Amino acid sequence: MSDKSAVWVMAEQFEGKLKAVSFELLAWGRKLSLKLDVPLVSILIGDGVSGADLEQLIKYGADEVYSVQDRELAFFICEPYAAALEKLIKEYKPAILLAAATSSGRTLMPYTAIKVHAGLTADCTELDIEEGTGNLLQTRPAIGGNIMATIKTANHRPQLATVRPKSSRPLAPDNNRKGKIKHIPYNDVKSDKCVEVKGYRREEMGAVQLEEADIIVAGGKGLKKGEYFSMIHKLAGALGAAVGASRDAVDRAWISYPHQIGLSGKTVSPKVYIAAGISGAIQHLAGIKTCGTIISINNDPDANLHKLADIAVVGDAFQVIPALLKRLEARSGELNDV
């Protein structure tokens, strides 16, 4: 099995546990590797990931796993991660390298692309292989999300792309799949480390990560005051949802930046997206294009988000959300009585 033209996908970990997006990327990678008839390799850079978890990457579609683990790689820092990845690329020369369009993927891949003199397409929603050339066809929203552009990198290898989380479902795990796991030492990697981690503090607002959430409740400047954002938290709590926000709400310091959705924030793809008081600037719409069901609550019948929404509620969020909370509480009570 030659890996000179393999398809690579980046696995992500946090505190030694694989993130769900690692398995989503394997689904994309398997599709491409089958078309090219080449191996699929999962790249894991981090620390504390067990052998059993590495085996999970094989069960979900990888032919091989390259594992680079070290205490220095426990938390994501761009320079050492990129140095480890650059060394692997130069040694094994993959044809394609995919990463998730998460905060770490969006940081690591552009830096790596410069280091290895390769092209990069960010925030893809569709990937395919061009017949006859083997070029990676990378489709992503362009011009503020108004069109879908397909891009290819014809003259440089590897072809790098980041893919939106939730844009593909993981393959069903096959417990009979066999593959190789290569443990690659990090101690001889040289990096221009510019950052030192002094400590780590968890984000206080909301335990559910936006990129991994099935339901998101988001608020915008239509809520008028930061104190009224509590409605969003209550509704999210009742639905088991993550809390999101428009850029306007973040700029007004009603909520912190990790909750921002849009081109300058996070791209999300939940099954259900509920937006209250968000008019729908182009930048925000580009961040929610791949959501399942979009529900817009706004008293402006001409709000841009109403046009994109599957369900447009023309009404006052200060009346609609409390009424919705009452219905949810009543339903919860009925279920408890059963």
Burial classification of residue 132, based on how many CB atoms lie within 10 Å of its CB (0-12 exposed, 13-18 middle, 19 or more buried) = exposed
Same domain, 43 and 115: yes
Same domain, 179 and 235: no
Same domain, 217 and 317: yes
Domain boundary residue, one of 120, 148, 183:
183
Tens digits of pLDDT across the chain (338 residues): 344 589 999 999 988 899 989 999 999 999 999 999 999 999 999 999 999 999 999 999 999 999 999 988 888 888 999 999 999 999 999 999 999 988 889 899 999 999 999 989 988 888 999 888 889 999 887 776 567 888 888 888 899 999 987 777 888 999 999 999 999 998 766 666 777 777 777 655 455 578 778 999 999 999 998 889 999 999 999 999 999 999 999 999 999 988 999 877 787 888 999 999 999 988 898 788 778 899 999 999 999 999 999 999 999 999 999 999 999 888 876 545 54
First to last CA, the chain: 58
User: 121: domain CATH number?
Assistant: 3.40.50.620
41 and 65 Cβ atoms separated by less than 8 Å: yes
CA gap 103, 259 in Å, rounded: 12
**Does any domain span residue 308?**
yes
Domain boundary residue, one of 183, 200, 218:
183
Same domain, 105 and 240: no
pLDDT at site 2 = 41
**Does any domain span residue 177?**
yes
CA gap 35, 37 in Å, rounded: 6
Same domain, 168 and 256: no
Same domain, 20 and 154: yes
Same domain, 101 and 62: yes
Same domain, 233 and 161: no
**Does any domain span residue 191?**
no
Same domain, 160 and 22: yes
Domain boundary residue, one of 183, 218, 243:
183
Rounded to the nearest 10 degrees, what angle do helices 230-239 and 317-337 cross at?
30
Backbone angles phi, psi at 106, to 5 degrees: -70, -20
pLDDT at site 204 = 55
For the chain, how many structural domains are there in total? 2
Same domain, 248 and 154: no
**Does any domain span residue 188?**
no
**Does any domain span residue 196?**
no
- Domain range for 98: 7-183
pLDDT at site 296 = 96
pLDDT at site 75 = 87
79 and 195 Cβ atoms separated by less than 8 Å: yes
Same domain, 176 and 81: yes
Same domain, 177 and 216: no
